[in-house]
Structure 1
C-alpha cells in the first residue's frame, strides 16, 4: 500500500488539490461563506509550503542561471580583453621598433647631408659569429656601385671597410679585425699611428713613439693617410697607455671603439673620399 501511495503521490496530490478547489468553488456558489472561508484557509495552509518551495526553487534556479550566464559572459569578455591587450602590446612593440629604426636612419641621413661625398645606407644582414664579429654582411653590392676598400661608418664613427663584393651584398671588415689597419691620430696631441684590431676585440694603436703625448681618455680619429678612410672619422678612446722599458721604440696603446660593433643594424658606405675632412657634432674638428 505504501509503495502504491509513493508511486502515485503526484497524482494524489494533484487530485486532492483539484477536489479542494472544486469544493471551495461549490461552497462559494452556495453562499456558505463561513465554510468557504475555513476551507480556503485549510487549502492555503496545505498548499502554501509547496508554493513557497516552488518559488524558492525558481528563485535559486534563476539566480544560479543568471550568475552562470554572467560568469560565462565575464570570461568571454576577459578573453577578448586579453586578446586586445596582446594585440596592443604587439602594435606598441612594432611602433617602438619602427621609431628606433627611424631614429637611427635619421642620424645617418643627417650625417650624409654633412659629408661632401656620395653615400648609401645599407642594412646589416649577417655577422661573422665565428670570429668575434670581425666582419659583417650588408645588403648592398655591385648593383649599388659598392666597391672594395670603400669606408663604412655610422653616426658614432668608423666601422671598417668593404673587402668583398657580390651583386647584391658586400662583406665589411671591422676595425677590430687583427688584419685591419687604419691611419689614425690622437686628436689632442696630433700624434700619428696605425689602428689595428686585437684578439680581444679592442683596438691597438701601433707605431706611436715612446715620447708621443698620449693619455687615457684621448680621442682617436682617422688621419686621412692611406687613401681609404677620410680624415676626421672618430675611431675610439684611449683606455690604456704604457711605455715599455724593454727597449721597444713604441708605446702600447689600447682603445675602445666608439661604435658598438656587436649591435650594428644600419651603416653608411662612403662611395668616394670627400673633398674635405669629416667632423662630428660634439667633437673637435680636425685641422
Structure 2
C-alpha cells in the first residue's frame, strides 16, 4: 500500500489539496475560527506552485496550439499565393507571345499591301535538317490556294518560292539554296543580275558586268523579270564586291539576305504570278 501511495503521490497531491481546501472553506464559513484561517493559509501556500504550474502549462499549450494553427494557415496561404503567381506568370508569357505574333503579322500585312497583290499568311512548321537542301515546310497548301512558284516573303524581305504543294502543306525553297535563282537589280545603279544561294548562307549576285557600278552597302531588290517574283521586294545588301584578276566576264559580288532564316515563324505567300503554267520557271531566270 505504501509503495502504491509513493508511486502515485504526485497525482494525489493536487486532488487532496483541493479537497482539503474545500473542507476548510466550508468550516470557515460555518465557524470562522482562527485555526481554520491558519490551516487555509498553509494549504494555499503549499498548493500555489502547483496552481501556477498548471496555469502556465495551459498558457503554453494554448500559445503553441495557436502558433501551430497560424503556421498552417500561413503555409496554406503561401502555397495559394505561389500557385497564383505561377498562373499569372504563365498568362503574362502567353500575352507577351500573342503580342509578338500580332506584331509580326501586322508587319506581314504591311508587306502585302506594299507589294499590291493577294497574299496568304502561313506558319513555318518544319525546317530542313541539313544544309544541302535549304527548304522550309509551311502549314498551307493546295486547299488554301497555294500553287508552285508562288513567292514567299517576310516583313524583312524575300524568303524564296514554293516548289512542292500538298493538300494542306507546301515546301518552300529558300533563296540561300544553291539551286535557287532570283532575278535582281542593284537599287542604286539599276544594274540587273541573278541572285543564287551559296553554302555559306549568303547569296551570290551573278552576271554583273565587270564595269557595273556596284558598291558594298548597295541594296538588292527583285527585278520582276522571270515571271516568279514581283518587282521591288527587298532581297539583301551587298557585303562584298570585286573584279576578278583573271579573264572573267562578270564581277564577283556577294549579298547578305535581309530575311533571318534561322528565326522564321510566319511567312507571306504571294498569289503572284496569275499564270499557273510556269514549267519553264524551274530553269534559272535570265536577267
Q: If the length of structure 2 is used for normalisation, what is the TM-score?
A: 0.90
1:12-51 paired onto structure 2 within 5 Å: 12-32=13-33, 34-51=34-51
Task: Tell me how far 1:208 sits from its aligned partner.
Answer: 1.2
Q: TM-score, normalised by structure 1?
A: 0.90
Counterpart secondary structure, 1:226: coil
1:85 alignment partner in structure 2: 85
1:100-119 correspondence to structure 2 within 5 Å = 100-119=100-119
Partner of 1:222: 222
Residue 188 of structure 1: aligned partner: 188
CA RMSD of aligned residues (A): 1.8
Cα contact 1:192–1:208 (8 A) shared by 2: yes
What residue in structure 2 maps to residue 277 of structure 1? none
- The size of the alignment, in residue pairs, is 273
Q: 8 Å contact 1:138–1:171 — kept in the other structure? A: yes
> 1:76 deviation in Å?
1.1
1:133 CA drift (Å): 7.5
State the 1:115 CA deviation: 3.1
Measure how far apart 1:3 and its partner are: 3.4
Q: Deviations over 1:91-115 (max 9, x none)?
A: 0111111111111111222232333
Q: Deviations over 1:49-103 (max 9, x none)?
A: 1111111111111111111111111111111111101100100111111111111
Partner in structure 1 of residue 99 of structure 2 = 99
Structure 1 contact 141–147 (Cα < 8 Å) conserved: yes
Contact 1:216–1:240 (8 Å) recurs in 2: yes
Q: Secondary structure at the match of 1:253?
A: strand
Tell me the distance in 2 between the aligned counterparts of 1:25 and 1:40.
11
Distance in 1 (CA, whole Å) between partners of 2:273 and 2:148 is 13
Residue 137 of structure 1 and its aligned partner are, at CA, apart by 0.8
- 8 Å Cα contact 1:146/1:165 also seen in 2: yes
Q: Offset at 1:199?
A: 0.5
Counterpart check, 1:241 vs 2:241: yes
Aligned mates of 1:247, 1:135 — CA distance in 2: 35
Given that 2:222 and 2:232 are in contact with CA atoms closer than 8 Å, whether structure 1 keeps it comes out as yes
Structure 2 CA distance for aligned equivalents of residues 45 and 152 of structure 1: 101
User: Are the counterparts in 1 of residues 221 and 233 from structure 2 also a CA contact under 8 Å?
Assistant: yes
Q: Distance in 1 between matches of 2:262 and 2:46?
A: 90
Task: State how far apart, in whole Å, the 2-side matches of 1:270 and 1:53 are.
Answer: 90
